[in-house]
Amino acid sequence: MDDLSSVGGNSPDVTVSLGDRSYGIAIGSGTLGNLGQECLKLEIGKKVAIITNPTVAGYYLASVRTSLESAGFNVAVVEIPDGEEFKNLDTVASVYNDLVDAGMNRGGFVVALGGGVVGDLAGFAAATFLRGIEFVQVPTTLLSQVDSSVGGKTGVNLDKGKNLVGAFHQPRFVLIDVMTLSTLPEREFIGGLAEVIKYGAVLDAELFGFLEQHSEEILARDPEPLKQIISWCCRLKADVVAQDERETGLRAVLNFGHTLGHAVELLTGYGKYSHGEAVAIGMVAAASFSEQKGFAAPEDTARIRALLARMGLPAEAPQFAPGEYIASLVRDKKSRDGGITFVCNKGIGGFSFERVTDLWPLLSASGIGG
């Protein structure tokens, strides 16, 4: 990993290299007010619609708006209701209408100001409105700063499942201000840490060690280690996305812990566990399965469990009949022919894809069904 001591300021700290669709990610502290100047550099028109929700708007809309207006942009604001339950096609339709009313044309662009829900929905609206306009991500949750704002996956949920409609549409720029995390509710912050731990567990042993060593400062939301870990994760994700933008192979490594995590969310009815908590449970299950398969030692599993616990994340899978878990696992949109491709950790910082058709060993490794 690169020297991280220089992280900060306004320069794009990370680049997602995708040829003529490459873009920068600027990671700093107290940098929201730079958005206008950064957008000017992109030369993507003067009309901008900020898509946000009332919660995030209450904290950050004024500074984002002022920054854009001071840079000479003609700014409209489109608010969507706060909540995963509004990440759907009805909300997208209302956003399209608001964009028309705001006079948005193909020369304009969208700024997604908020967490992953706003980012996914605003990105999808940008991907499809007038057959596609540009957009900029300003993520304000830890999860969106380390994961959803980078890589161009946009979309919405259907009643029949999450993220079933979407498009790959890369942003033109991502501005991450870690100071926005100071207002994030504790449970959301800790949920985001599950994704950070994921990167360490399967992609970078050094990051994992850093998290072990600096857990206290991270939990206290000290901006310095936060900038470091966010940059680190963005670099890792940028590297994966540059190699496999459309998830034909490598990008699936980012699903570590998500396979069983999605089943936990589905079985418990979305809400009992946050996404990050469910992923934490899924990572413990994946680590135990990886150990069973001989990819990892008991000490590796113990370290993953200990770090998740240190960050306040759960480990034990809720008890449902194994058959219910199996039905949920094979319902996942990533399952094929009754089996799943499962991401195992190799030690700490490595991974292996395993095709699993007999799901019982996976469940018993997770403590489900004996």
Burial (Cβ within 10 Å: 0-12, 13-18, ≥19) of residue 312: middle
Q: Which one of residues 13, 147, 204, 300 is an interface residue with ligand GLY (CB under 6 A)?
A: 147
Q: Which stretch binds ligand NAD (CB under 6 A): 92-100, 129-137, 145-153, 279-287?
A: 145-153
∠ CA(315), CA(274), CA(324), 5° rounding? 70
254 binding partner (options ligand NAD, ligand GLY, none; Cβ < 5 to 8 Å by kind): ligand GLY
Contact status: 153 vs ligand GLY (CB under 6 A): yes
55 binds, among ligand GLY, ligand NAD, none (CB under 5 to 8 A by kind): ligand NAD
> Residue 247 burial (CB < 10 Å; 0-12/13-18/19+)?
middle
* Alpha carbons 16 and 240: distance in angstroms, whole number: 9
Residue among 336, 341, 342, 331 at smallest CA distance from 161: 331
Residues contacting ligand GLY: total by CB under 6 A: 6
How many residues at the interface with ligand NAD, by CB under 6 A? Answer: 28
Q: Is 251 in the site for ligand GLY (CB under 6 A)?
A: yes
Which tokens sit at 319?
């008890």
Angle, CA 154 vertex, CA 258 and CA 37 arms, to 5°: 120
Region from 164-172, 212-220, 246-254, 309-317 binding ligand GLY, contact rule CB under 6 A: 246-254
For ligand NAD, give the closer residue by CB, 48 or 156: 156
Which of the listed partners (ligand NAD, ligand GLY, none) does 87 bind, with a CB threshold of 5 to 8 Å by partner kind? ligand NAD
- Longest CA pairwise span in the chain (Å): 63
Please pick, from the candidates 120, 134, 177, 265, the single residue that binds ligand NAD as defined by CB under 6 A.
Answer: 120
Nearest C-alpha neighbor of 153 from the set 112, 190, 194: 112
Q: From CA 189, how far away is CA 140, in angstroms rounded?
A: 10
Partner in contact with 251, chosen from ligand NAD, ligand GLY, none, beta carbon below 5 to 8 Å by kind:
ligand GLY
Structure tokens of 142?
Answer: 């830890």
| Residues annotated as catalytic (active site), given as ranges | 131, 153, 195, 237, 247, 251, 255, 258, 262, 275
* Contact residues: ligand NAD, CB under 6 A: 53, 55-56, 59, 82, 84, 87, 114-118, 120, 140-141, 143-144, 147-148, 151, 153, 162-163, 180, 183-184, 188, 275
